Amino acid sequence: GIQVEQSPPDLILQEGANSTLRCNFSDSVNNLQWFHQNPWGQLINLFYIPSGTKQNGRLSATTVATERYSLLYISSSQTTDSGVYFCAVISSGSARQLTFGSGTQLTVLP
């Protein structure tokens, strides 16, 4: 099946700093989503972005489908941004389910 790799696995930032999270995938995809799992365990949808670029406030994402990677940018980070960020994909073809990466644990210090 498709492989999803996220980097870095851990990231510690000072409040106000910017960061870039990366997601590489091993095959073509029809769906790519970014999630934030907060400390209470909730999975919050950030972006649905199988290709192209989107922005939502301080967050933006870019997926280059032909090169099989996606980037999540967080600007002016806040302590509430802490948590785990997951990239998940559905491979092209008959797959229906999301395959998740192992996540990036982000800690934003005050």
Partner 1 sequence: DSGVTQTPKHLITATGQRVTLRCSPRSGDLSVYWYQQSLDQGLQFLIQYYNGEERAKGNILERFSAQQFPDLHSELNLSSLELGDSALYFCASSVALAYNEQFFGPGTRLTVL
Among 18, 20, 30, 78, binds partner 1 (CB under 8 A): 30
Q: Are 16 and 77 in contact (CB under 8 A)?
A: yes
Q: Are 27 and 34 in contact (CB under 8 A)?
A: no
Q: Are 68 and 25 in contact (CB under 8 A)?
A: yes
Between residues 16 and 93, which has the closer beta carbon with respect to partner 1? 93
Between residues 48 and 79, which has the closer beta carbon with respect to partner 1? 48
Q: To 10 degrees, the CA torsion angle through 80, 83, 89, 90?
A: -90
Does position 76 interact with partner 1 (CB under 8 A)? The reply is no
| Stretch in the footprint of partner 1 (CB under 8 A) among 10-18, 35-43, 59-67, 72-80 | 35-43
Question: How many helical (H) and strand (E) elements, i.e. helices and strands, does the chain have?
Answer: 0, 11
Sites of contact with partner 1 (CB under 8 A) = 30-31, 33, 35, 41-45, 48, 50, 86, 88, 90, 95-100, 102-103
